[in-house]
Every structure is written in C-alpha cells, then in structure tokens.
Amino acid sequence: MGQAAGSRWQVISGRRILATCCLLLAIVLGLALARLPLLWAVGMVGGTAVFLIILIYPLAGLGLALLLGPLGALESSLGFTSPLDSGQLALLLTLAVWLARGLRRRRIEIPHTFLNVSLLVFLFIAALTLVNAPSLPIGFKELLKWVEILLIIWLLVDEYFHHSSFRIHHLLWILLLAGTVQAAIGIWQFGLRGTGPEHFLVLGRFYRAYGTFEQPNPFGGFINLTALLALGAFIGLFMRWRIDYRQADGKINSPFHLFTYSPLLLAGGAAAVTAVALIASWSRGAWLGFGAGTAVLAFYLPRKRWQGVALLGLGMGILLLGMQFNLIPASITARVTDFSQDLQFGDVRGVDINDANYAVLERLAHWQAAVGMAEANLWLGVGFGNYEPAYADYDLINWPAPLGHAHNYYLNLLAETGLLGLLAYVGLWTAVFWQTIRVVNKLDWPRRGIALGLLAAWTALAVHHLVDKLYVNNIYIHLGVMLGLLQLLDKETTRLEIGDHKT
C-alpha cells in the first residue's frame, strides 16, 4: 500500500513539475514575444512547440533529426558557425529527453540488443586509438557518431517496449520520407533547375544531383539506403496484398484493400523517386552499391535458396542482354566501365597525370597514403578520425592536399584504428548481416520485405565504402535508426515465437 502510494506521489510530482515548467516557459515566452521582432518571435514560438512535442513524444524528435540531418553540409556552406547543426541539435534534444525520462523513473535501463557487444567492442577499440592521436577533438567527434548510433538503437528499443502507441511502420515511413525529400531536391537539381556547379555538369546539359549534401557521391550513398529500403517495403506490401487478395477471392470491396493500397502506393512511389534521384547523382559508387543490394535482395527474396539463385541468374541475364542490345544508355555504361579501365593498383608516384586519369589517380594516391599509415601503425593506427591530420606525414609528392578521408573506408579505418579496429568493424557488420538474414528467414510479409530492404541497404553501404566514406553529413543518424529498426524486427520474431502478435 505504502509503495503504491509512493509511486503515485512520484507520478503526481512529475506532472506538477512538468506543469510548473510549462507555466514558467509560457511566461518567459510571452515577455519575449512582446519585445522581439516578428521573425524572431515566430522562430521562438515554433521552437517551443517543437520542444514540447519532443518532450511528449521523443520519436517525433528523432523524425525531425532525420529530416534536418542532411541539411548539415548546406548549413555549413551558408556560413553557419555553430558547432552543432540543426539535425544534431534535434538528435541531442531527443536523447536528452529520453535520458531525463529514465531519471524521472529513477532508473535508466540499457536495453538488451543483439548488437550491444559488437558495438561496444568497436567503440572501446576506437577510443583506445585516440591515446596518441594528432587531434583529439577530431577523434572525439568521430567517436561521438558511433555513441549516438548506439543511443539511437537503445532509445528505439526502449520506446518500443514502454509505449503502447509505438508502431514499427511509423519508423519506416519517417525513414522513407527523409530520403524522398532529398531525392526530390536532387531531381530538381538535375533536370529542372537548369544551372549548377560547373564541375557537376554531365551529358552537356544536366547537373549531377547532390541534394543538401553539397556533393553527389555521399548524396547517392544516402539515397541508396532509402531506395533499397523502399523497394523491400514495396515488395513486402505487394506480397501481403497478393495473399490477402487470393484469400478474398478477388473481391474488390474487401476491407483489406483500404489498408493495403495506400501504403503500397507510398512505398512504390518512394522507391521510384529515389531510384530516379540515384541515377541523377551520377555516382558510380552508389550505382555499384545499388546493383549489389538488388542482387542480394533478389537472392533472399524466395524462401528456397535455389529459387534465389535462379532469380539472380535471370536478373543477370536480363542485364547482359540489355547491354548487348544497347538497351541501357551508353552514357551510363561508359560511366561505370571507364573507372574500371583506368583503375591500376600499385605505386602511383611515377604515373603521368592528365585530365582523363586525374580523379582515379587522386583516389589511388590517398589509398596509398592510408596503407602507409597502417604500415607505420599496424595495431591501433594513427587515431580514429585522424586520417586528415596525419596525412601530411604520409602524402605523395603530387598529392599534398588531403581529401578528408581515403575514399575507401576499409583502408581509411585500417589507417586510423589499425588492424584491431578494422577487425572490430568487420565483426560488427558481420553481426548486423547475420542478424538481418536471421530476421528475413523468420518473418512473414510485409515485415519480411522491410528486413529484405535493410539487408540490401547494408550490402549497398558495404560496396560503396570500397570507394568512399559515407559516415558524413549526419548519415549516421539515418543508419542508427535503420539499425534500431532491425532490432525491433528482431524483437518481433521473438514475440511471434511466444505467440504475442504486437502490430
């Protein structure tokens, strides 16, 4: 009895504190509005409204972080000097509210997930590499990305179990919305705006899409994550619709049509828009990643592996026939094959540089510098995130300017965290792939389609990282939410196994 009364007193006290804070905030806001210019007043009211919404429903703050995250590079180019961009501010506010809720309950629970151990091991080794790093601030900034990924996963799992209104498909639509908004901006830049940076000009009259990323390659990598997730969700919804349609004997007025047509069209629309934007990015790495992702999706689409092999072979046959009979635009084919023709491994210090091979040699030179760092610091590297600060000691004669990273994330990580860090990273993503494949094999449609989309997205990321680094411009927020989504799907398989069908 006393314990129940005490719990009730804590709840009432919490509500009183919240009400008092809201009242004080309203008073301060009213006094400020009376003296501030209109634009500032509107901004203050909007910011207050957003804060209150996040306070009540942290998932809204996470959605805001997903939408604002890609604006980081644009904000920087416009001269905003704040150490945190709007996406990071929204994320940190969301995490702060979530942690405050735990403190109010007088306990902060660390949710159990399949990735906890592998993520913590990678974080420990990455932190260990900073002991002798040239720049600790840069290293801590890179480390913070992975801490935030872990916290995002924990937040989502905690919300899933403690709030009955939480739905997995809400998370899916927020992810697809964030990517589709960027895709629409990129399509406008490519074919509708009619102008752009001169070095982005392709085909004589179009400009490579880059969204608010300010660069086409990370934009293409980001769009890949959404395109493949949307494709998987569309397939899952279509397969579920087909099953329901058969069970309803094809009756058009069956109730299930109302609930399946709209999501099916939304997922299909998101997949189509992001696919167009992916082409418009003109990013070879993103195209190769998308091809690998769709191949993996096709392989795991049927339940039986021999059917997956047959489907994959059919897709490869169609692609080869398309190339043979020039059904694929020559500009796209040339864009992919030109890179492979110029790519030559080895020492590039004595190679003649011209306009045709400059981009490839620049990338190879930075690969070679990363190998030099790794050879000199085999076990723990030069320090997590410290490729650029350490570059001057390992650069090649004709390539004194660092590009920020090695344009091959595996070599970049080997240089920064050594062999131990690279092994920990590979171990982490091995766990991610293993967990995703397990979820794909256990779930039914349409959830299985979401898991397939995630598996395809991980594959695209892994392939694209052979020629670039995609943990930039807050893409890690998007990845953190996707990894959290994977944990929720994994929890769904457990619930289904014990007969608890939460939808």
265-280 pLDDT tens trace = 999 999 999 999 999 9
Span 207-213, mean pLDDT?
Answer: 96
Q: What whole-number distance in Å separates Cα of residue 227 and Cα of residue 486?
A: 17
Q: What whole-number distance in Å separates Cα of residue 208 and Cα of residue 221?
A: 14
Per-residue confidence (pLDDT) for residue 80, from 0 to 100:
79
Q: What whole-number distance in Å separates Cα of residue 458 and Cα of residue 396?
A: 33
Within a domain: residue 14? no
Within a domain: residue 313? yes
Span 165-178, mean pLDDT?
Answer: 89
Give the domain range for residue 283.
Answer: 171-342+454-463
Per-residue confidence (pLDDT) for residue 54, from 0 to 100:
75
C-beta neighbour count of 428 within 10 angstroms: 20
Span 331-350, mean pLDDT?
Answer: 65
- Name the percent of the chain in helix, strand, coil, to the closest 5: 75, 0, 25
Q: What whole-number distance in Å separates Cα of residue 175 and Cα of residue 232?
A: 13
Per-residue confidence (pLDDT) for residue 142, from 0 to 100:
96
Q: Give the pLDDT band (50/70/90) at residue 222.
A: very high
Strands (E), 252-406: none
Q: Which residue has the higher pLDDT, 50 or 437?
A: 437
Q: Give the pLDDT band (50/70/90) at residue 299.
A: very high
Q: Give the pLDDT band (50/70/90) at residue 138.
A: very high
Within a domain: residue 356? no
Do 138 and 145 touch, CB atoms closer than 8 A?
Answer: no
* Backbone φ and ψ of 21, nearest 5°: -60, -45
Span 255-265, mean pLDDT?
Answer: 66
Stretch (H or E) spanning 184: helix 168-187
Q: Give the pLDDT band (50/70/90) at residue 375.
A: very high
Query: In angstroms, what CA-CA distances link 19 with 14, 25, 49, 93, 94?
Result: 9, 10, 15, 19, 20
Within a domain: residue 331? yes
Return the sign of the alpha-carbon dihedral for residues 397, 399, 404, 410: negative
Per-residue confidence (pLDDT) for residue 205, from 0 to 100:
87
Query: What DSSP string describes 133-202?
Result: -S-HHHHHHHHHHHHHHHHHHHHHHHHHHH-TT--HHHHHHHHHHHHHHHHHHHHIIIIIS----GGGEE
Give percent of the chain above pLDDT 90.
56
C-beta neighbour count of 440 within 10 angstroms: 22
As for how many domains the chain has, the answer is 1
Q: What whole-number distance in Å separates Cα of residue 458 and Cα of residue 217?
A: 17
Indicate whether 293 pLDDT > 70. Answer: yes
- What's the chain's average pLDDT? 84
| DSSP reduced 3-state for 117 | helix
Within a domain: residue 307? yes
Span 462-491, mean pLDDT?
Answer: 96
Per-residue confidence (pLDDT) for residue 501, from 0 to 100:
44
Indicate whether 174 pLDDT > 60. Answer: yes
**What is the residue type of 52?**
L
Do 413 and 402 touch, CB atoms closer than 8 A?
Answer: no
Give percent of the chain above pLDDT 70.
81
Within a domain: residue 20? no
Indicate whether 159 pLDDT > 90. Answer: no
The distance of Cα 451 from the centroid of its chain, to the nearest Å, equals: 15
Least confident of 31-45, 78-92, 382-396, 466-480: 31-45
Within a domain: residue 264? yes
Q: Which residue has the higher pLDDT, 353 or 94?
A: 94
DSSP 353: P
